[in-house]
Amino acid sequence: MARERVYTLPMVWSKRVWTITLLYYAVAVVIVGMLVYLLFNGATAAAVAGLVVALPVLVGIMIFCEGYSPQRLEISESQITVLRRYDSITILRSTILSIKPLEPKDMRWTLSMGGCGGLYGYFGSYQNRHLGTFTMYATAMDNLYLISLSNGRKVVIGCTEPKLLLQTFAFSE
């Protein structure tokens, strides 16, 4: 029996994701610097306590977002898998009704309903007027594809090799 061919594609960060992630790291570094400065210059206990609370929260958010951010996309004849450090997402071919490319206008006025909107990528629950409620796994806002599932759910994924995705699942643009 022949093995199924699996294509593994990287999830490449856009400039916007790089900028948001680096700014977040810069804020964390500034808080650490302020904490060290205040500790050595006799700051009030309230100021130090505020920074001591803020730092673990920032680090916790960084660990959570990095772990659940999309790392790679695996495409095979039977499924699409969004590989993540903590919990990969598998979409079986048998549950896919359609795959269609999205235009930039389709993503206008998109709101994050729970998830991450730029730190390590875009993932979680989103909503907009055009698509309604959907789950997104992307690291850039271009080359996005809407996957409609048989259970009524919608998933938006980013793909660096759009032709490969559409050819593998025999959907045409």
For 25-44, how does the pLDDT look when each residue is reduced to its tens digit (9 = 90+)? 998 888 888 877 877 787 77
Higher pLDDT among residues 52 and 111, named by residue: 111
This prediction has a pTM of 0.86
Q: What CA–CA distances, in Å, run from 39 to 42, 43, 44, 56, 171? A: 6, 6, 9, 17, 61
Does residue 91 sit in helix, strand or coil? strand
- Look-up of token digits 């050595």: 40
Looking at residue 43, what is its pLDDT? 72
For residues 93-103, average pLDDT: 93
Q: Check if the beta carbon of residue 10 is closer than 8 Å to that of residue 72.
A: yes
Looking at residue 173, what is its pLDDT? 42
Q: What CA–CA distances, in Å, run from 21 to 16, 18, 97, 122? A: 9, 5, 34, 11
> CA 11, CA 16: separation in Å to the nearest integer?
14
Looking at residue 172, what is its pLDDT? 43
